[in-house]
Amino acid sequence: MTGKPVAQDERTTAVTNAGYRWSYLVLSFGLLAVIAVRSFLRDESPWDLLALVILGGVVNVAYQGRYQVLHRRWGVLAVATLLAAALLGAAIVYLRG
């Protein structure tokens, strides 16, 4: 009983999704590093790159919301992240004068 080999199983899917996750993290944090360099060292406006980072997150949330896989915990974590980012931003503005 020799059939065709399985092209993709659960392990393959998990490894593929982990690869996508790592790629997304490297890309997002790389863009954030470039934004920091452009903003702090070169005094350039980084809004175009920051929009790419935000748009990547919005696309992910929209996709997960469309298929109803977002949980209540995700919403609490998103609000906490927004508050932490606002506080950090206010501290940076205050320290830069």
Instruction: Kindly list the distances between the CA atom of residue 13 and the CA atoms of 18, 20, 91, in Å, as whole numbers in the listed order.
Output: 9, 11, 42
What pLDDT digit, counting tens, does each position of 29-69 carry?
A: 999 999 999 988 998 888 888 898 889 889 988 998 898 88
- Residue 65, pLDDT score: 87
> Mean pLDDT across the stretch 61-90?
91
Domain residue ranges in the chain: 9-66, 71-97
Question: How far apart are the C-alpha atoms of 57 and 75, rounded to whole Å?
Answer: 14
Task: Quote the pLDDT of residue 94.
Answer: 93
Please provide the average confidence, as pLDDT, over all residues in the chain.
Answer: 88
Q: What is the torsional sign of CA 22, 28, 34, 39?
A: negative
Is residue 44 helix, strand or coil?
Answer: coil
